[in-house]
Amino acid sequence: MSFRRFSVIWLAGMMALGAFVACSRKPEPAKALEPWDEGPPAQVYTLRGQVERLADASGPMKIHHEPIHAFVNRAGEIVGMNAMVMDFPDLFDDSAAGLHKGAKVEFSLEVYWPKGSPRWRAGAFKVLDDATELDFGKADPASLAHDYTVRGVIAELPDPAKPMSSFRVRHEAIDDFRNKEGARVGMNAMTMSFDALAPGVTLDGLAVGDKVRFTIRVTYGPDGPRYPVTAIEKLDPAVELEFRRAQPPKD
């Protein structure tokens, strides 16, 4: 066999071997995206708790957290979450470094609702004073509802001939109005639309310009505040109303 023919056979064999090795290699599977890689969290909660275990080879961090009264389920309903000891296998920052078992902390909880089971991760840990008292009770979503009775004058009533019309009232200030965090921030006198009436509440017999006393029930959900009118009564036309800025009391 000539050297030239041997070289050609050897080169062909090496190419075939290389092709076989390349084909026999299994492609590495693509890394699955985490829900936080695909978009922002559905909900973010600030809560407090006590560190029961730090993350180690035996498992993730465990925290006994207080109830989350405003916890929202996959359907967007406020259902609450009781106090419980919860695993936190995923963290979004390194603020847990330096924590110790038994530490009382405030932290941020991000919740995601991908297909299948919900996912969550924690971060923004702040150490609280050891004397901080924690409440490990049951969630009470109803505690988020606040009733306000306020006076005002009707600015507009719904009119079937005017699709954009609504029930609008220029109301007095609500000094003790609370925001979604529960802080009393007040609400200035203003003209507001109230598109929801509770069962049994009617606007029959009322007219634009009437002075009224009415009650609204305010709750905060994932799509913002809701404030249906739960009661309304007509006042004497001689009643004097005061349209001023709110004066929230100091907590």
Of 101, 124, 141, the last residue of a domain is 141
pLDDT of 143 > 90? The answer is no
Domain match, 39 and 107 both: yes
The verdict on 158 and 225 lying in the same domain is yes
Whether 83 is covered by a domain: the verdict is: yes
Measured at the CA of 140, the angle between CA 192 and CA 132, to 5 degrees, comes to 105
Question: What pLDDT is stored for residue 18 in this prediction?
Answer: 61
* Enclosing domain of residue 166: 145-234
Same domain, yes or no, for 180 and 194? yes
Question: Two tokens at 130?
Answer: 């050891």
- Which of these ranges, 6-15, 171-180, 186-195, has the smallest mean pLDDT? 6-15
> pLDDT tens across 203-215, in order?
999 999 999 999 9
Q: How many CB atoms lie within 10 A of CB 220?
A: 19
Q: What is the predicted pLDDT for the residue at 228?
A: 92
Q: Are residues 202 and 183 in the same domain?
A: yes
Mean pLDDT of the chain: 88
| Maximum C-alpha span of the chain | 122
Alpha-helical regions (H) of 72-212: none
Q: What is the mean pLDDT of residues 140-154?
A: 89
Residues 83 and 48 in one domain: yes
160 and 213 co-located in one domain: yes
pLDDT at 22 over 60: no
Does 153 lie in the same domain as 228?
A: yes
Q: What is the pLDDT of residue 69?
A: 85
Domain harbouring 117, CATH code: 2.40.50
Checking if the pLDDT of 93 tops 90, the result is yes
Report the alpha-carbon distance of residue 44 to residue 30 in Å, rounded.
Answer: 29
Q: Which among 147, 59, 60, 150 is positioned nearest to 96, based on CA atoms?
A: 60
- Mean pLDDT, range 165-176, rounded to an integer: 96
Query: Is 157 domain-assigned?
Result: yes
| Residue recorded with tokens 């695993």 | 87
**Domain stops at, among 126, 141, 156:** 141
Whether residue 210 is contained in a domain is answered as yes
Q: Which of 107, 125, 141 is the last residue of a domain?
A: 141
Same domain, 170 and 215: yes
* Count of structural domains, the chain: 2
Establish if 241 belongs to a structural domain. Answer: no
Residues 91 and 66 in one domain: yes
Please count the CA atoms within 13 angstroms of the CA of 180 that sit on its side-chain side: 15
Q: Tell me the mean pLDDT in the region 9-15.
A: 60
Place of tokens 């066999």: 1
Section 67-76 average pLDDT: 86
Tell me, what CATH number does 227's domain have?
Answer: 2.40.50.320
State whether 153 and 131 are in the same domain: no
Residue 50 domain flag: yes
- Asked if the structure places residue 202 within a domain, the reply is yes
Residue 115: predicted pLDDT: 87
User: Do 79 and 123 fall within a single domain?
Assistant: yes
Nearest to 86, CA basis, from 115, 112, 61, 118: 61
- Specify the length of the chain in residues: 251
Are 55 and 100 in the same domain? yes
Q: What is the predicted pLDDT for the residue at 20?
A: 56
The answer to the question of residue 12 being in a domain is no
